[in-house]
Amino acid sequence: MLKFYHAPWSRSSAVFWLIEELGVDYEMELVDIRGEGGAPEEYRAVQPNKKVPAIEHEGKVVTERAAIAIYLGDAFPRTGLAPAIGDPDRAAYLSMLVYHDAVFDPAICGHVHGLSYVSNDYPFGLYDDLVANLEHRLSEKPYAAGDRFTIADVILGSGMNYTMNVLKGLPQKPAFEDYVARVTDRPAYKRSAEKDAALAAKVPAFQAMFASRD
């Protein structure tokens, strides 16, 4: 059985979508990362920084979103969402999975928080280079790894959807809007989004936020 450590409306929502795409049986353990002091201290035994997502499968713990995505794609190959070793799309698939977490995520965070730096200051490079690269890739090909939907699109699509449409940290370029619309028009995304919203409605921090808007 697959065990999934999750906090609704967080970075683990992409893995929630992924699990729905794979169609595998799983057990979810909710982690309240938004309570006082963040996630409970005992959760460090699973994820040392008390971050989500994390999974347990066949007695092994996997942390870090890109690693989880790669692991699950290879562990459950029947969907064909993970190009196998030897597949020509494998290189772009792995590159974009890691690019999202190693470059996209920190560059967006730095931009939103007004971080000023030159390219060599940080390993993830410049925000403008990130935007230009994504626009170039997604203008040439419909998906992250080429001409077909893969798990890389779950991770990248989830990140772009949030940062462009909610966080407003990514410009609404036509190539980005078309890509996000394309990848989120999938039954698995819609199922996970609906389930995640229902879970978020039960989180005290979100309940307080919703109440303050009334």
Q: Which CATH number fits domain 2-79: 3.20.20.70, 2.30.290.10, 1.10.3720.10, 3.40.30.10?
A: 3.40.30.10
pLDDT digits (tens, 9 = 90+) for 106-158: 999 999 999 999 999 999 999 999 999 999 999 999 999 999 999 999 999 99
Joined together, the tokens standing for residue 26 give: 């799983």
Start and end residues for every CATH 1.20.1050.10 domain found in the chain: 90-188
pLDDT digits (tens, 9 = 90+) for 31-69: 999 988 999 999 999 999 999 999 999 999 999 999 999
pLDDT digits (tens, 9 = 90+) for 80-103: 999 999 999 999 999 999 999 999
Query: Rounded to 5 degrees, what are φ and ψ at 212?
Result: -70, -20
Mean pLDDT of 181-199: 98
Write down the mean pLDDT value for the chain. Answer: 97
The CATH number assigned to the domain with range 90-188 reads 1.20.1050.10
Residue 208: HSE in the Cβ half-sphere, 13 Å Cα cutoff: 4
Q: What is the DSSP string of 65-95?
A: HHHHHHHHHHHSGGG--SPPTT-TTHHHHHH
Share of the chain above pLDDT 70, in %: 100
Residue 91: HSE in the Cβ half-sphere, 13 Å Cα cutoff: 2
Start and end residues for every CATH 3.40.30.10 domain found in the chain: 2-79
pLDDT at 214 > cutoff 70? no
* Cα(76)–Cα(22) distance, integer angstroms: 7
Burial of 18 from C-beta contacts in 10 A (0-12 / 13-18 / 19+): buried
Mean pLDDT of 202-206: 92
pLDDT at 4 > cutoff 80? yes
